[in-house]
Chains A and B, each alone.
Chain A
């Protein structure tokens, strides 16, 4: 369980203070899939970065299973069980997909075991396991590999920032299944997905709407989703973020 208590995040932007996250208190309970939605620029990615420890809040507290982790480094939070799939995944020259998955698990796993995580995100494992995580990968391929590393890490709380971006429609169905499976297997852990996609909102236990750095709405899917339909916070597929057809190889 993750608790945010009165989190505020200010930056100094060209001489003036700007509040990007304003006094947010939020609980991500165990065994739940929570989706954060809301307009672009509302502070969703920033909130995810605060949770992962990439940014430090100006004020407020972050608790993981009751322990105050506000001042812990990214590394310590990762070790305590926070996983984070970036909105824009990073490329590395020379590091192979297998290396990254192995680092994510922190074990000496076999190629066969690593391949299962690639298959889970709909990539043909044998075509990708030896690939370098460099600019030869398309955006959609990279995005799926990013998701695979977070699956491999098997965290207490896994955060996915707009996982559908750059992934084509057909594969999107796959992705929904990935999260559904994850949802079924989360015993004692939780999933936080940042997304505007109606289909992802549809599998949420709880929905949080973030706007202008503030919590606008929060509640069960049944309570929140109807009021979002037809707005930019719940976009039907094929309107936003999707690419027509990506070139990722499936088996």
Chain B
């Protein structure tokens, strides 16, 4: 059974919707150590020899199974770098839930840097969810730097949902993907920053195979004095289709820099980008006020909806 305190359990609920031990394969990392690990017949989780991460192997044709690998940190002053490699067998169809919650009540910074690499076999389908959450009243920062690399073989698909709504002071996210024939990548990023937070997000998606496609949509809200940078490059190296969209709400004294970029190296590459940054529309607030909400309640509803 897991040995975890209440704060760690709360973090787990925030980042992985886990109220109890998950079904299927899992590894829970708490304060730099494994607090529980289970492999299944089809999904094997092994610690790396160097102790700094996991190797996860999913057998071909594994269907409807899930892997949870949440990370929680509750000690101030920990800094860790872990590498998790996922080898997904052909035609597997699984859900992977990652995510990191940091509670920092101390004065030293806590930092988790996770490098996730996905090697996705032919015809496999992956749904990947990664949530970040920070809490704690200490002056030490909560820092998360996720690096994600995705290598997709022919006819595979991956849907990534990345969410960071609260409490993370500093993030620098890089996501790289390479897609072979007919591979399909869908990314949905939702981000809210407040206080003096910084969030950087870089994407580099290479559409190498004929018929490959990528759809990358970021919705974000920057409040207070926070800063966000969204920098996404789609490169089309074959007959492919790609779309990126950055849709951002700016409030207070927030700053948002959106840098969408497209590179087409094939005459049949069809690439589109959209970027929009603006404050909440006044008529949206007014409409909700005519239903009896206060201005603050109206803003909250609009933002909740936007980030839903």
Residues of A within 8 A of B (CB): 52, 54, 73-75, 78-79, 82-84, 86, 89-90, 92-96, 99-100, 103-104, 106, 132, 149, 153
Once bound together, how far apart are the Cα atoms of A54 and B283, in whole Å?
10
The 7 closest A-B CB pairs, nearest first, are A94-B305, A95-B305, A74-B289, A78-B292, A90-B287, A94-B308, A94-B306
A-B contact count (CB 8 A): 60
Once bound together, how far apart are the Cα atoms of A96 and B293, in whole Å?
16
Once bound together, how far apart are the Cα atoms of A158 and B305, in whole Å?
26
Given known pairs A93-B247, A94-B306, A103-B301, the reply for A86 and B287 (CB within 8 Å) is yes
B293 — which chain A residues lie within 8 A by C-beta?
A: 75, 103
The answer to the question of B281 belonging to the interface, with a C-beta cut-off of 8 Å to chain A, is yes
Residue in chain B with minimal CB distance to A95: B305
Identify which of residues 271-302 in chain B touch chain A, using a CB-to-CB cut-off of 8 Å: 281, 283-284, 286-295, 301-302
Given known pairs A95-B301, A95-B302, A99-B305, the reply for A90 and B281 (CB within 8 Å) is yes
Residue in chain A with minimal CB distance to B295: A75
Once bound together, how far apart are the Cα atoms of A100 and B305, in whole Å?
11
Contact, CB under 8 Å: B247 / A90? no
Q: Which of A78, A90, A103 contacts B283 (CB 8 A)?
A: A90
B292 — which chain A residues lie within 8 A by C-beta?
A: 75, 78-79, 103, 106, 153
Q: Which of A54, A94, A96, A103 contacts B291 (CB 8 A)?
A: A103
The answer to the question of B187 belonging to the interface, with a C-beta cut-off of 8 Å to chain A, is no
A95 — which chain B residues lie within 8 A by C-beta?
A: 301-302, 305
| Chain A nearest CB, measured from B307 CB (Å) | 7
Which of A75, A82, A83, A96 has most B Cβ within 10 Å? A75
Contact, CB under 8 Å: A104 / B247? no
Contact, CB under 8 Å: A74 / B307? no
Please tell me the number of chain B residues within 8 Å of chain A, measured between CB atoms. 22
Once bound together, how far apart are the Cα atoms of A128 and B219, in whole Å?
24
Once bound together, how far apart are the Cα atoms of A196 and B305, in whole Å?
35
Which of A96, A100, A132 has most B Cβ within 10 Å? A100
Once bound together, how far apart are the Cα atoms of A103 and B308, in whole Å?
17
Once bound together, how far apart are the Cα atoms of A83 and B292, in whole Å?
9
Contact, CB under 8 Å: A75 / B289? yes
Residues of B within 8 A of A (CB): 219, 247, 281, 283-284, 286-295, 301-302, 304-308
A96 — which chain B residues lie within 8 A by C-beta?
A: 305
A-B CB contact pairs (8 Å), 9 listed? A74-B286, A74-B289, A75-B293, A75-B295, A93-B305, A94-B305, A94-B306, A94-B308, A95-B301
Once bound together, how far apart are the Cα atoms of A79 and B281, in whole Å?
22
B306 — which chain A residues lie within 8 A by C-beta?
A: 93-94
Residue in chain B with minimal CB distance to A84: B290
| Chain B nearest CB, measured from A116 CB (Å) | 18
Q: Which of B284, B289, B304 contacts A78 (CB 8 A)?
A: B289
B302 — which chain A residues lie within 8 A by C-beta?
A: 92, 95
Residue in chain B with minimal CB distance to A83: B290
Given known pairs A90-B281, A90-B283, A94-B306, the reply for A73 and B301 (CB within 8 Å) is no
| Chain B nearest CB, measured from A117 CB (Å) | 13
Q: Which of B219, B284, B294, B301 contacts A90 (CB 8 A)?
A: B284
Contact, CB under 8 Å: B308 / A74? no
B290 — which chain A residues lie within 8 A by C-beta?
A: 52, 54, 74, 78, 82-84
A92 — which chain B residues lie within 8 A by C-beta?
A: 284, 302, 305
Once bound together, how far apart are the Cα atoms of A171 and B307, in whole Å?
34
Once bound together, how far apart are the Cα atoms of A73 and B305, in whole Å?
24
A89 — which chain B residues lie within 8 A by C-beta?
A: 287
Once bound together, how far apart are the Cα atoms of A83 and B284, in whole Å?
15
Once bound together, how far apart are the Cα atoms of A106 and B291, in whole Å?
8
Contact, CB under 8 Å: A149 / B286? no
- Given A79-B292, A103-B301, 11 additional A-B pairs, CB 8 A: A52-B290, A74-B290, A75-B292, A83-B290, A90-B286, A90-B287, A94-B304, A95-B301, A103-B291, A103-B293, A106-B291
Q: Which of A54, A84, A94 contacts B307 (CB 8 A)?
A: A94
Residue in chain B with minimal CB distance to A146: B287
Residue in chain B with minimal CB distance to A132: B305
A83 — which chain B residues lie within 8 A by C-beta?
A: 290
B286 — which chain A residues lie within 8 A by C-beta?
A: 54, 74, 90
| Chain A nearest CB, measured from B283 CB (Å) | 5
Contact, CB under 8 Å: B291 / A78? yes
Once bound together, how far apart are the Cα atoms of A74 and B291, in whole Å?
9
Contact, CB under 8 Å: B301 / A99? yes
Once bound together, how far apart are the Cα atoms of A83 and B289, in whole Å?
10
Residue in chain B with minimal CB distance to A81: B292
B304 — which chain A residues lie within 8 A by C-beta?
A: 94
